[in-house]
Structure 1
Amino acid sequence: MEWLILGAAILLEVTGTICLKLSEGFSQLGPSLAIAPLYLSSLALLTLALKTIPVSTAYAIWAAVGTGLVAVIGIAFFREPVGVLKVASLVLIVVGVVGLHVGDRLSTAL
């Protein structure tokens, strides 16, 4: 259940970030009004997930998956440039999160 909560927290954070872009510097009312509730809801769910998921793992996943999703959405929908360095950097983020998760698993197994 805690992983579903973390997933929801990530989706809310990504949606809030997309609303930042869509707000066009807070000049668009709808997206501007959505930003704070989305981020607050995301943080509330992250807090709930932290009751059972180690903070190093939960925060890394929350930040990295959010970063990756926002990057993909930026490329796909906002026509942001994509290059080898950007893709390699995203891969490194994923590798780092997997490493943190595996490290938590190994330390609890010992």
Structure 2
Amino acid sequence: MKNWLFLGVAIVAEVVATSALKSSDGFSRLMPSIVVVVGYVLAFYFLSLTLKVIPIGVAYAIWAGLGIVLIALVSWVIYGQKLDLPAIAGMTLIIAGVAVINLFSRTAGH
């Protein structure tokens, strides 16, 4: 169970780091740049902890899929970036894919 918590922390850290990447303005602003570096270090550290139990393909699919959806939501809320119907449909399919992996795959390491 803690491995799934570690994966969740990795996802959140990656989303925070990627969100700060835009604010870093090409690493020209100090504080957002620090958030980017610390966020990615934490993301990869916690992802590496999950790989002790969760297969890399499953962990990465969940990490990347949920990261895409969460970054799109953060971009919409914080930066006002619009999501059109095809983007929303695609993200819905990503969420469905993550759900299928978690609910039905024997590979998921449950």
- Are 1:31 and 2:32 matched, yes or no? yes
Contact map agreement 2:11 2:43 (CA 8 A) in 1: yes
Question: 2:65: which partner in 1?
Answer: 64
Find the counterpart in structure 2 of residue 76 from structure 1: 77
| Counterpart residue number, 2:19 | 18
Where structure 2 has 5 or more consecutive residues not aligned to the other structure, the ranges are: none
- Greater CA drift, 70-79 or 18-27: 18-27
Question: What letter corresponds to residue 50 of structure 1 in structure 2?
Answer: L
* TM-score (normalizing by structure 2): 0.87
Structure 1: which 4+ aligned runs deviate by more than 6 Å?
none
Q: What does residue 46 of structure 2 align with?
A: 45
Corresponding letter in the other structure for 1:9: A
Alignment CA distance shift 1:21-1:107 (3 Å):
closer
Answer whether contact 1:18 1:70 (CA < 8 A) is retained: yes
- Preserved CA contact (<8 Å) 1:20 1:31: yes
1:89 maps to a residue whose letter is G
Question: What is the total number of aligned residue pairs between the two structures?
Answer: 108
- Can you give the 5+ residue segments of structure 1 that lack an aligned partner in the other structure? none
- Between the aligned partners of 2:88 and 2:73, the Cα distance in structure 1 is 10
- Residue 96 of structure 2 aligns with which residue? 95
Query: 1:38-57: CA deviations, max 9, x gaps?
Result: 11211111010111112221
Determine if contact 2:54/2:108 at 8 Å carries over to the other structure: no
Say if 1:101 and 1:18 are closer, same or farther in 2 by CA, change over 3 A.
same
Residue 107 and residue 20 in structure 1: after superposition, are their counterparts in 2 closer, same or farther (change >3 A)? Answer: closer
SS at match of 2:105: helix
Matched with 1:6 is 7
